[in-house]
Structure formats: C-alpha cells, structure tokens
Structure 1
Amino acid sequence: MLSRAEIEELFPATRKLVYLDTAYRGPLCKPAGDAAEAYLRSISARGSLEIPRYIELLNNCRKRLATVFNAKPEEFVFLANATDAFSRVTLGIDWREGDEVVAPENDYPGVLRPLLDLRRRGVKLVLVPARDDAVFAEQLLAACTPRTRLIAASHVNFRTGFCLDVSTLCAGAKKMGVLTAIDFVQSAGCLQLDFGALGADFGTFAARKWFCALDTLGIFYVREESLNKLTPHTLGLFSVAEPHNFDALDQPLAPGARRFMLGAPPYIQIAAFDAALELYQRVGAAEVEAAGRALGRTIREGAKTGCLGESWPAGAQAPIVCLLREGKLADESLGPRLLQRGIVASVRKGIIRVSPHWFNAESDVDRLFDALAAFEPRK
C-alpha cells in the first residue's frame, strides 16, 4: 500500500476529512480529476480533432474493464448511470402478462422501482422479506415459481452492508431457466469481482462510488451468452453495426453490449473513469478488498452500540458497516456534529452507515469512535 502522503496526494479530500462515506459518493481521485481537466483543455484547443483519440480511449477502457472483471470488452457499454443501465434489463425482456420477478424487499429503489413499473405490463413483483436484515440467495431461489423470469438484487445492500452470495444465486437461477440482474454498485471497486465466475446475466455499477470517478457514468454488463435475451428498448446512432454509415438507415444491431448505446458517449466521464480504473489496477483489486474488509472488521469489533449483521457469516459482511444509533446517538444533531469534527459518514434513521475504503486508515476509525464516545446531545 501507499504511504499516507501519497494517499493524500491521490485523494485530496482525505487531507482534512475523515472520509467514511464512499458508499454514498467516493471522493474524486486526482487521476480522474486530472483526466477530466485534460479532456476539457484538449477539446477547447482542438475541438473535433480530438474525438478519434477519445474513441480509442473508450475502447481501451472497455478492455481495461474486461481485465479487471474477467469478462470480454464487448460485454460492456457506458450509459448515463447505474439505474439507466438497470432499466435496459427491465425494458428489454419480452415480458408476458403473468410473468414474475423476484427481488429483496429492502433493495435499492433504483433496482425496485423499475421492477415495480413492470406492473403496467402485467408482471408481478415478488418481494422477499428480510431475515436478520438480510435476504439470502436461498430465499430468493425459494421464492421462484414456474412463472419467474428474472431475479434482481444488489450484490451488496446499500441499507445494511449485507453481501449476497451471487454465484450461488446465479447458478440456482440458471438451473431453473431464470435470468439474473445484479446491481454491483456497492461492490465494484470495493470487492474483487470475477464476472465470468459469478455467472450473472446482467450487471450494473457506477463510476462515482468506489472507483472515485465522476458522476453520470453507469456501466452495463451483458454476458455474451445472454445478449440475445434482451432487446434494446429503442435505437440510436450507435445501436447499429455501422453507426457512421449515415446512408444505411436500416442496419443490424451492433455486436455486443454496444447495441444498448444511443447517442454520443460521455467522453469526459469515460476519460476520468479510465484513469480511476488504472489507479485501481495499480493498487490491486485484492489489496483494495483486503484493506476495506480489515477496516470493516475493526469497526464491527469497536462498535459499542452494536451493528447490523453481527450474526451473518463472515462472507456476508461487506466493508460497509451500519452502526446502531441507540441512546444519545439517536439525537438528530449527530450528523452535523460529526461533520464539525471533519468526519463524513451517512447518518440515517436508526443507523450510522460507515463505508471505509482502501485510502482510509485505522486512525480514521479511531477518530470516529472518539467522536461518538464524546457526543452529548445539546440541551
């Protein structure tokens, strides 16, 4: 791992803040910021002459994604955000009235609302109740019926930090002929992921969280063998095989996930993401996960009021830790008072969601616990 000085150079937010809120939004890393500024300078100086270079960068970024996630470059496409990507699944399946979708009841609204919207097409959403603040793979599989077409779930739950056994879920779903759509927003860039081994048909994640890049960039993964199980909900310039052949209006769909792309790609976001992804590779996926998990364990062990998921198996505990807000910590002034001490965490109803990343140190955890121990509600 890098020295503290090197980390502060890479993540300027860490110079003055104890930043424990990456699950909400990662602090922009310097390589991503530099890449975005370089894009603006180049387009300002040379305009359209720079576009070929950024098309090449886009293609190289897809190759980098393929290396990081053990997939193929053609299985990735860049979209506006993770929910935009997820909606390509719900809009792309050839639903029939009476079909069913299975999902955890406590999942992210960006997952559940597109599923709920399927009611207008006669599709039933089956929400599986949480058990000990978690919905396990076995519960989701048990909720399937002969009418089930899709299981959708987050790999890591944003509310609780519960880590779903995706490989078990996807293997079980495949045996039943059920498709799987997994939201990797809270695990991509945090946990080491092998899309080839996990087996999900479709996956989504964002650049802005654990990769610490820019907003408004979602990544859509479509497993090669599952490509023809989705139909693009509409077509645009880049959805076809030869997008710049303007005289051939009616064309075959583009090969791979690019068929879900509509207009011009967000080059500045992709340039920033590619730089952030390169940093992630340089640090090492295994090292990033190990650092996050170690800090997560430290937080769980030091929690005086307890935390969610204490009885979960170790493999179900992601680096996201939700401390219980009991007694004086339930006071509504807790969030602003932590911020006064330079501590950034997500203070929510009943919990403090703490999401450490590899750039954090144990001293950050110490400062959080010192602040919680010293906290007294204002009279």
Structure 2
Amino acid sequence: MFTNNDIARFRADTDGVQNVIHFNNAGSSLPTNQVTQAVLDYIREEAMVGGYELHALRSEELEGAYSSIARLINASVEEIAIVENATAAWNGAFQSIDWQEGDEIICNQPDYASNYLAYLHHPTKPIVKVIPNNDQGDEDLSAFKELITSKTKLVSITHMPTNSGHLAPAEEIGAICREHGILFLLDACQSVGQYPINVEKLNCDMLSATGRKYLRAPRGTGFLYVRKEVLPKLTPYTIDLHSATWTGKSSYEIRKDARKFENWEGNRANQLGLKVAADYAYQAGMDDVWQRVSHLARLIRAGIQEMDHVTCHDIGTRLGGIVSFTVEGKTASEVQQYLLSQGINVSWNGVPNTYLDMTAKGLEEIVRACVHYYNSEEEVEYFLNAIGRLVP
C-alpha cells in the first residue's frame, strides 16, 4: 500500500499535475518526468550523431525495453514484440491465425470497436459469438462454456473496456480456453499499467497493449505478447527484412521469436520511453498501483451515488480506474468541456466505441473519469464538487 510519501514522490515525478487534474488516463496518461527526459535526450542526441549511429551506440539500452516489458507481465524476452500501438499489436496476432471458412470467435459484450470491426472485415467472415453477462454484470462463465464448439478458433476478450470500469474474469476464461485447447487473445489496452498483469496466471496465448494509457509511456508505442509454445502456429500477415530473412531467389525464413510481428523502422526514442515507463511501473509495484487506482475510483463512485443528477454506469464485481457516468440534462461533450474549464481532463465515449455494451445498457454516450495512482484524494474531491454544480 502506498504511503503519503510515495504519492508525493509520484506527483513530484509528474510535472503535469501542477497544471491540470488529469482524469483522462484511459485516453493518455501524464508521463513521468523520467519518461519525457529519456525521449527528449535521445532525440537531441540523435540529431547530433545520426539515427543509425545512435541506435548502434545505445543498442543495449534499446534492447532492454524487451526485458523491461517481459518482467512487468511475467513473460520471456522472446515472447515480446514492440510495435507502434495496441491496434497493430492486436491485429498482428489476429491476422496471423490460420482462419478457415466456418471458424468461430467468442468475444465479450464490452469488446472494443476496432477488434469487432476486424472480425466483420475478415475475408473468411468468421462466426462471432458473444458471452452474455450474468446478473452481476460479469461474463457468464457457464454460458461461455456452452458457446464453445469444435469450430471455435479463438476467444478474444477485452480485459477492461473503454467505456466502463468493468474487469473481465480473464484468468477464469483463460483456464477454460487452455482446457479446450483454444487460442486466447487478451486485449489488455486499458489494464496494463493499472492492473497486475501476469500472463502465466491469465493463461493467455496472446496479449496486446498500448504504452500511452495506464503504462504512462509515450504515444505511438505498444507491444504484443505471444506465448512461445504458440509462436510456431502463427504466421505474420506482413513481413520485412527484420521479421524475415531472404535466403534465396525463391526462399525466405521467418523469425522464430515474437519479433516476427515487428518491422524494421520504429521510433527509437519512444521505445526507450516505453522501457523507462515499464521500469517505473514495475518499481512502483503493480499490486499497490491497482489498490490505489481502485481506491480513488471507489471514492468517485461513492460521491456520484450521492448525487441525484449524476448516474454511474459501471457494472461487475471487480471495477478498475475508469468511472463511467452521465449527468442529467447535459451531453457528454458539454460535461467534458465544462470540466475542462475547471481544469479537469476527462473524455467521453459513444455507441460506436463499444456498440454491444452501450446498446445493451440503453446508452448513447458516457463520460469517463479515469484515475491513476498519482492522482490525489483532493483532486477527487475537487472533481466531485465540480460535478455537483452541474445541476439540470
């Protein structure tokens, strides 16, 4: 559990907290000063000595990004690919599967739009089944088991959705997938950096993540984890001279590790920033981060419950740092702009972001207040007071 001194240190390491109350961490977190400095220093040095030359000079440090990510999620270095964002990571895994006509996908109700669009867009037109929620708002595991058939090729779960604080029972779903020998792809875009991710406990075969959200890394960073036993079964949709070797006029060999999902060019300064962010999160301690984020989110939900004109829309037995709500008589955009005028950053989602979940809840849009461990109780109180003034 973090002490007051810990929180003070985290805030001292985050200059942005002096300018704004940042409750948009599910969109893009405030980076630590260490992350920002690492990126700026690399860019300046690159401008002085040359891109390829600095890459060679600092190759060991850049390689360390793979070790830092692997350590954070309890994986091996050869199971990590660094890519430009979570969509590239997720599609790298999804498109590499040997899809056949009649194959089935099982997803959850809060699945993210980009993922579901990929199902619909795939030329084999896989059959998509959706796990229903139980009375508590969690994925119904008994119903999930009933959905599995001999045609089930992939279970694709959004761990934490973009439109609520819901946390899917990924560990239990992963265990069921492993029992049936079904590939399990976990979209951890919102959970990496706020929830203690352990790929062994999750039983996931593939995991996609971004850097810019709760991990507090630069925008334009992401990574893909692929379990080493699964790597030989997946063929990248695209390859280049980094992911494969041209061995003859009519021959080539694809890499054996997860880097077969990468390409040669990338932002090396951002890669270094991703490493620094992963190290910072690991050293902070993900169990304590999760406890802190959950605590601050509970404070907001409790405060909202006392307001007749504000409704919280988070469902499920385990809730994280994304608090979704609506304000009576106000559009989500109006709420966002009002809070911005009060020095508070939030964001909002509409139906297209999570069509299945939003329509099931009868919602057109929601506002997101997304807290992180560097936020303070005083900021939460200020936010609740501001929302309280938004009476119809």
Normalised to the residue count of structure 1, the TM-score between the two structures is 0.90
Measure the CA separation in 2 of the matches of 1:276 and 1:137: 34
- What amino acid is the match of 2:320? A
CA–CA distance in structure 1, aligned partners of residues 58 and 249 of structure 2:
25
Letter in 1 for 2:212: R
Q: For residues 102 and 358 of structure 1, what CA distance do their matches in structure 2 show?
A: 33
Unaligned runs of 5+ in 1: none
CA contact (8 A) 1:329 1:372 kept: no
Match of 1:212 in 2: 216
Cα deviation 1:197-225 (Å, max 9, x = unaligned): 21100000001111112111120000111
Within 5 Å, give how 1:313-332 maps onto structure 2: 313=317, 316-323=318-325, 325-330=326-331
Q: Which moved more, 1:200-209 or 1:330-339?
A: 330-339
Q: 2:37 pairs with 34, 37, 46, which one?
A: 34
Residue 246 of structure 1 and its aligned partner are, at CA, apart by 8.7
Q: For 2:248 and 2:182, locate their aligned partners in 1 and report how far apart those are by CA, in whole Å.
A: 40
Aligned AA (1:25): S
Correspondence for 2:124 among 121, 124, 129: 121
* C-alpha distance in 2 between matches for 1:185 and 1:25: 11
Q: Name the structure 1 match of 2:357.
A: none
CA distance in 2, matches of 1:125, 1:369: 40
Unaligned runs of 5+ in 2: 350-363
1:44 equivalenced with 2:47 (yes/no): yes
Asked if residue 356 in structure 1 is aligned to residue 363 in structure 2, the reply is: no
- Report how far residue 248 of structure 1 moved: 9.5
* Corresponding residue to 1:67 among 71, 79, 82: 71
| Counterpart mapping for 1:1-379 below 5 A | 1=2, 2=5, 6-47=9-50, 48-118=52-122, 120-130=123-133, 134-240=138-244, 250-303=251-304, 304=306, 305-309=310-314, 312-313=316-317, 316-323=318-325, 325-330=326-331, 333-348=334-349, 349-376=364-391
Which one-letter code corresponds to 1:339 in the other structure? Answer: L
What is the Cα-based RMSD across aligned positions, in Å? 2.3
* Distance in 1 (alpha carbons) for counterparts of 2:249 and 2:13: 47
Q: Kindly tell me the number of residue pairs found equivalent between the two proteins.
A: 369
Question: Alpha carbons of 1:233 and 1:347: their partners in 2 closer, same or farther (altered >3 Å)?
Answer: closer
Distance between the aligned counterparts of 1:70 and 1:149, measured in 2? 26
List per-residue Cα deviations over 1:328-353 (Å, max 9, x = no partner).
Answer: 45575222111111011124444321
For the residues of structure 2 that align with 1:189 and 1:248, how far apart are their CA atoms? 45
CA distance in 2, matches of 1:295, 1:152: 29
Change in 2 beyond 3 A, CA 1:40/1:326? closer
String of CA shifts for 1:137-157, please: whole Å, max 9, x gaps.
444333222211001011111
Give the secondary-structure state (helix, strand or coil) at the position aligned to 1:252. Answer: strand
Query: In the alignment, what sits opposite 2:360?
Result: none
Kindly state the Cα deviation for residue 103 of structure 1 after the two structures are TM-superposed. Answer: 1.1
Describe the shift of the 1:372–1:175 C-alpha distance in structure 2 as closer, same or farther (beyond 3 A): same
Match of 1:225, SS state, is coil
Residue 59 (structure 1) shift: 1.9
User: So what's the TM-score if we normalise by structure 2?
Assistant: 0.87
Deviation at 1:127, TM superposition (A): 3.1
Assess if the C-alpha contact under 8 Å between 1:82 and 1:204 holds in 2.
Answer: yes
- Evaluate the alpha carbon distance shift between residue 30 and residue 136 of structure 1 in structure 2; reply closer, same or farther with a 3 A threshold: farther
1-side partners of 2:86 and 2:25: how far apart?
A: 16
Matched to 2:324, the amino acid is: C
* Structure 1 SS opposite 2:236: coil
Q: CA deviation at 1:29?
A: 2.2
Structure-1 separation of matches of 2:138 and 2:164: 8
Residue type at the aligned position of 2:182? V
Percent identity of equivalent pairs? 23
CA 1:375/1:292 → structure 2, altered by over 3 Å: closer, same or farther? same
Displacement after TM superposition at 1:104 (Å): 2.0
Any conservation in 1 of the 2:332–2:366 contact (CA below 8 Å)?
A: no
Q: Which moved more, 1:158-167 or 1:185-194?
A: 158-167
**Closer, same or farther: CA 219–332 of 1 in aligned 2, 3 Å:** closer
Q: Deviations over 1:177-198 (max 9, x none)?
A: 2111000011001111111221
Q: Which amino acid aligns with 2:284?
A: V
Deviation at 1:89, TM superposition (A): 2.1
Matched residue SS, 2:155: strand
Cα 1:67/1:12, change in 2 over 3 Å: same
